[in-house]
Amino acid sequence: MPLGRSAKHLNLTLRNLASSLIQYESITTTQAKAKLTQKYIEHLITKTKRADQTNPQQLAKVKELLRGHLYNHDITLPKMLETFPQRYANRVNGYTRILKLENRIGDNAPQCIIEMVDNGSREMRFWITAKTVARLELQGLPLDHLTEKNMKDLLLRRENGEAVFRDAVETCKKEFFGTEEQKKELKVLLPRIKGDTSGYHRTFTNYVVVPRPNKSSGAEKVDAAAGAEKVDA
C-alpha cells in the first residue's frame, strides 16, 4: 500500500489531509502525501461539480459522498457545495497546486505546500511571484521568462488581477526589502546567469544547424570497394 500503511489507515490519513486543505486552503506536508491528497480531493471536487444540486436526489447523494470522505462537515461541506463549484466553474481540473520546499530537518523527508488555486490572499505562489518581481524591479533587472509565465497564469482568472498584484509587489518591497541592510544585500547579490532555463520551461535558442553530408549511393560504395581491392592487389 502507498505510504507503507494499511488501506484503512491510508484512507483516514487522506481524509484528514483533505479536510484540513479544504478548511485552510494551504497545508504543508510531505510530497508523497501531497500527491495522494491532490488526487483524492480533485476527484471529490469534480464529482461535486458534475452533480445537479437542483435535483434533490443528486444533492443528497453528493452530500453522502462528502460526509464519508471528509471531516468537519460544518466547514468542509459548504465549501465543497458552494464555494468551490463557483470558483472553479471554468476549470476542468487542476484545482490544487504543489510547491516544493526544502527537506524536513530530522528524517530529511521531501516537503511541499499543497494549496487550492485562486484562493485569494492565502495563495503562496502568488506571494512568491510578487516577491520575485519586487526583487527584480529593485535590482533593475528585467523579468525572466518563467516569472512572466507565472505572473500571467496567476492573473488569468483573478478579478482586478493586475491591480491586486501591483499592491502585493509594493507590499513585498516594504516588508522584505524596506530596510537599508536589506537594500545593501540586494546590491551584492550575484548577477543572474543568462541562458536557457532548465526543465519544462526551457527557452528556445537559435542554434547553428550544420547539415549532414549526403550518404554515398550503393554504386559509389561498390566502386570504392573495387578500387580498394585493386590497391591491395
Give the cell for residue 68: 464519508
* pLDDT tens digits for range 145-175: 889 998 998 888 788 888 999 999 999 999 9
Residue 34 confidence class, pLDDT cut points 50, 70, 90: very high
Task: Kindly provide the residue ranges of all beta strands, DSSP E only, lying in the chain, ordered along the sequence.
Answer: 26-30, 96-100, 111-116
Give the whole-angstrom CA distance, residue 74 versus residue 231.
94
| Domain span at 190 | 123-196
Q: What is the CB-side half-sphere exposure of residue 128 using CA atoms within 13 A? A: 11
For residue 209, being part of any structural domain is answered with: no
Q: Degrees (nearest 5) of the Cα angle 30, 33, 36?
A: 145
* pLDDT tens digits for range 12-32: 999 999 999 999 999 999 999
For residue 220, being part of any structural domain is answered with: no
For residue 110, being part of any structural domain is answered with: yes
Same domain, 149 and 113: no
CA-based nearest residue to 98, from 80, 110, 83, 116: 116
* pLDDT tens digits for range 103-127: 999 899 999 999 999 888 788 999 9
Give the type of residue at 97: R
The domain total for the chain is 2
| Number of Cβ within a 10 Å radius of residue 139 | 13
